[in-house]
Amino acid sequence: MQQFEWIEGGICAATGFKANGLYCGIKKPANPDPSVKHKNDICLFASDVPCNTAAVYTQNKVKGAPLLVTKAHLTAGGNTALAVIANSKNANTCNADGVEKAEKMCRCVAAEMGIPAEQVLVASTGVIGQVLPIEPIEAAVPALVKGLCYRKNAEAATAIMTTDTVKKEAAVIFELDGVPCKIGGMAKGSGMIHPNMATTLNFITTDCAVSAAMLQQALSETVKVTYNCLSVDGDTSTNDMVLLMANGLAGNDEISAEGTHYETFKAALYQVMAALTRMLAKDGEGASKLLECLCSGAPDLDTAITVAKSVICSDLLKAAMFGEDANWGRVLCAVGYADADFDIDKVSAAFASEYGTVTVCENGSGVPFSEETAAKVLASDEIQILVDLHQGEAQATAWGCDLTYDYVKINGDYRT
Amino acid sequence: MQQFEWIEGGICAATGFKANGLYCGIKKPANPDPSVKHKNDICLFASDVPCNTAAVYTQNKVKGAPLLVTKAHLTAGGNTALAVIANSKNANTCNADGVEKAEKMCRCVAAEMGIPAEQVLVASTGVIGQVLPIEPIEAAVPALVKGLCYRKNAEAATAIMTTDTVKKEAAVIFELDGVPCKIGGMAKGSGMIHPNMATTLNFITTDCAVSAAMLQQALSETVKVTYNCLSVDGDTSTNDMVLLMANGLAGNDEISAEGTHYETFKAALYQVMAALTRMLAKDGEGASKLLECLCSGAPDLDTAITVAKSVICSDLLKAAMFGEDANWGRVLCAVGYADADFDIDKVSAAFASEYGTVTVCENGSGVPFSEETAAKVLASDEIQILVDLHQGEAQATAWGCDLTYDYVKINGDYRT
């Protein structure tokens, strides 16, 4: 893998990207006292010059109105865009006037910035099926545009948070023929998250020059092994969207075909997207532990992904990890019902963390292990479940989290 | 549908079936005081004459040893059997000596009863991957056989309970050309339960004369719309098995082809299996509410089943139902990611219970509803989610339960 370095800046890390975020009133104020700063609920980010833009959307049949509008705008604009507006607390989905209002959000931004509405994309996240209040958004757009700044990435990243407890940002710098390029991103969690789509809202920006076609290819290939290998609760959201915007301001020769430069770009993109995926898993609703399942020794990549995801999605295993109980039978059970073709009798399994590793199963059967060691390993807040199929060279990681009382609590009364 | 009547007796309801259950020591005694009666952990039931026997097994690649032995015995015995031995607390799965011990259980019973070992079937449920203590089982077999009785169905039904809080039994009587026939059954839950197999352990007995082929057809067709439409936690168990045994002692003309008699038998079988399915859902681990999703207006049965199951499996919806929150967006979301082909824009949805009905969605969009009425409807401990696709005549029901703190608690530390 090419060398890269972690940097600050999130979606503003790459040259020529500004952002802003503020509270406009979609979220109910936690404290009605106007002197208290409210949590941001709307954000805008924009590039100084038009960006080639790639996108991946949810595969849910119920598609949020913002997603339909974003897709239409990208088609109309030849897969280029200048700005993205996004709100939290309301998904603007399953509303009769949803598309109209999503269009309105874009038109407001376009008018204020003096750009075509098709160059503005839109995303929403929050409760499904509640009418979106458009007035506070309209009222906020002038301030949003006026306050756009090359360093307000955190203001934007906090504005897309719903039940997230921390904002998620990551960025890297790398070189192409001596030209420094940057990729940065932000993401929101933390419930209704499940593979088979672009999970949740994820926005990635880069100053690297990449053709629209290669940008889409890099995004699709990387989503497969990052966001699509993530599950918090098995529910595929209606509003999932990943946008990857490339403005070319780094000044490298445009990547327009496969080859070394494409591979370098993709490796850096993987770092950012995998880091965000891990953050999303760790901040899963109610989560107390990050779970990573590494499936190795698989006959092919798809088998490795399928098995790793199956383990990460098991409610029973997730509850056992919450209880720090080395109930490895549940790992084998989930490996066994994964929809893939392999020999279960060769499988080995282990639990690992910074406190050590404990092998619990070999050749599909249990092996004696120390419950004391297992308890020590599972006391960590980051647990690896190592599954080796012993029938090939492919491997994949899937990310998830434990199932806790708090998940139930959060989701027992989410709308209020 | 043919007339039938509910009767007592569980697996002993049909003529010529005896049962017994007792505590042999696989379960740790809740109270070490020997004067306290322990919970049963082993059972045996047997027919006075050989039974045609149909079976459905888990589709998990990890298959419990008892399941492999049962399958082999049915093949060797031409799909006939005389007796079934079953234990709880230990699944005898993923153990190197699993098959050997499952065979041993059958041989002990066979020797004591003086019948061929191939006429004895075996099932186990409980923790996966712990060595099965065979000694207490061997020691218990003489008493198990000696105590077989036409009225000890409840002793057997309690012996297969794991985290179940109540035993599950159902039985009906119906007539074929004036000949009274009976079907009865017992089942255990209550975790690691998910469609796509014969869910959990289910034993059904009948005195109706049915050929082995028609018995298998009736079982497979009925499993599809009962046990396979049930999910507690999305985990497909390694030890799932449904056995249906018919001894012919009712004296009817053997059902050996499709026709009126077959349909009558199948309708009665559906009643018993649907009743047990409903009991399993209601007693799902940690459950406080039974959830039933009726998907109607579907273009075909498979679409109806797929949609109904998708709704029942949504952790987010399950948590919302626990919180009595009419978050119908989660219903639409789960309908939307169901793997079936239909037009989402025609879908309507409602919540219903004995306290009323509240329509929340029409033509794929939200409609105004009274939160007060919704709260009243959802206060019930049996909630129906009505999804009408409005694009056909087919319908199906799926059964599940809410997701609660107790589910997490039970599964955080299941092994001890």
Mean pLDDT of A178-207: 78
In the predicted model, is pLDDT for residue B1 greater than 50? no
Residue A383 class from Cβ within 10 Å (0-12 exposed, 13-18 middle, 19+ buried)?
buried
Neighbours of A309 (CB within 10 A): 26
Q: Are strands A5-6 and B120-124 parallel, antiparallel or unpaired?
A: unpaired
Q: What is the pLDDT of residue A52?
A: 95
Residues of A in contact with B97 (CB under 8 A): none
Least confident of A109-118, B170-179, B331-340: B331-340
Q: Mean pLDDT over all residues of chain B?
A: 90
Q: What is the pLDDT of residue B30?
A: 59
Q: What is the percent of chain A with per-residue pLDDT over 70, rounded to a whole number?
A: 93
In the predicted model, is pLDDT for residue B180 greater than 90? yes
Q: Would you say A190 and A279 are in contact if contact means Cβ atoms under 8 Å apart?
A: no
Whether pTM > 0.80 for this model: the answer is: no
Q: What is the pLDDT of residue A416?
A: 52
Mean pLDDT of B387-403: 93
Q: How confident is the model at residue A1 (pLDDT cuts 50, 70, 90)?
A: very low
Question: Measured at the alpha carbon of residue B387, what is the angle toward residues B383 and B388, in degrees to the nearest 5?
Answer: 145
Q: How confident is the model at residue B45 (pLDDT cuts 50, 70, 90)?
A: very high
Q: How confident is the model at residue B224 (pLDDT cuts 50, 70, 90)?
A: confident
In the predicted model, is pLDDT for residue A191 greater than 70? no
Which two structure tokens, joined as six digits, stand for A375? 């308890």
Mean pLDDT of A149-174: 92
- Residue B340: closest C-alpha in chain A: A61
In the predicted model, is pLDDT for residue A239 greater than 80? no
Q: Mean pLDDT over all residues of chain A?
A: 90
Q: What is the percent of chain A with per-residue pLDDT over 90, rounded to a whole number?
A: 65
Facing residues of B90 across strands?
A: B127
**Where is pLDDT greater, at B242 or A267?**
A267
In the predicted model, is pLDDT for residue A399 greater than 70? yes
Q: What is the pLDDT of residue B284?
A: 80
Residue A114 class from Cβ within 10 Å (0-12 exposed, 13-18 middle, 19+ buried)?
exposed
Mean pLDDT of A92-111: 95
Length of chain B: 416
Q: How confident is the model at residue A283 (pLDDT cuts 50, 70, 90)?
A: confident
Residues of B in contact with A329 (CB under 8 A): 91, 93-94, 127-130, 238
Residues of A in contact with B94 (CB under 8 A): 329, 332, 361, 364-366
Of B314, B327, B405, nearest to A408 by CB-CB distance is: B405
- Residue A348: closest C-alpha in chain B: B94
Residues of A in contact with B338 (CB under 8 A): 61
Kindly determine whether residue A333 and residue B238, on different chains, have CB atoms separated by under 8 Å: yes
* Residues B100-122: b if buried by 16+ CB within 10 A, e if exposed: ebbbbbbebbbebbebebbbbbb
Least confident of B23-32, B162-171, B172-181, B261-270: B23-32
In the predicted model, is pLDDT for residue A403 greater than 50? yes
Q: What is the pLDDT of residue A287?
A: 86
**Where is pLDDT greater, at A61 or B329?**
B329
Q: What is the pLDDT of residue A36?
A: 66
Kindly determine whether residue A128 and residue B62, on different chains, have CB atoms separated by under 8 Å: no
Q: Would you say A265 and A218 are in contact if contact means Cβ atoms under 8 Å apart?
A: yes
In the predicted model, is pLDDT for residue B208 greater than 80? yes
Q: Closest Cα to residue A280, out of A203, A187, A197? A: A187
Least confident of A314-323, A368-377, B193-202, B371-380: B193-202
Facing residues of A366 across strands?
A: A361
Q: Which of A158, A199, A206, A238 is catalytic?
A: A199
Mean pLDDT of A62-70: 91
Interface probe with A: pick from B99, B408, B409, B414, most Cβ of A within 10 Å = B408
Mean pLDDT of A169-194: 88
Query: What does the alpha-carbon distance between residue B378 and residue B400 come to, in Å, rounded to a whole number?
Result: 15
ipTM of the complex: 0.71
Q: What is the pLDDT of residue B199?
A: 42
Q: What is the pLDDT of residue B198?
A: 34
Of B235, B327, B336, nearest to A62 by CB-CB distance is: B336
Q: What is the pLDDT of residue B416?
A: 52
* Catalytic machinery residues of B: 199
In the predicted model, is pLDDT for residue B251 greater than 80? yes
Closest-CA distance, B73 to chain A, in angstroms, reads 22
Residues of B in contact with A409 (CB under 8 A): 405
Start-end of H helices in B90-163 = 98-113, 135-146, 153-159
In the predicted model, is pLDDT for residue A330 greater than 80? yes
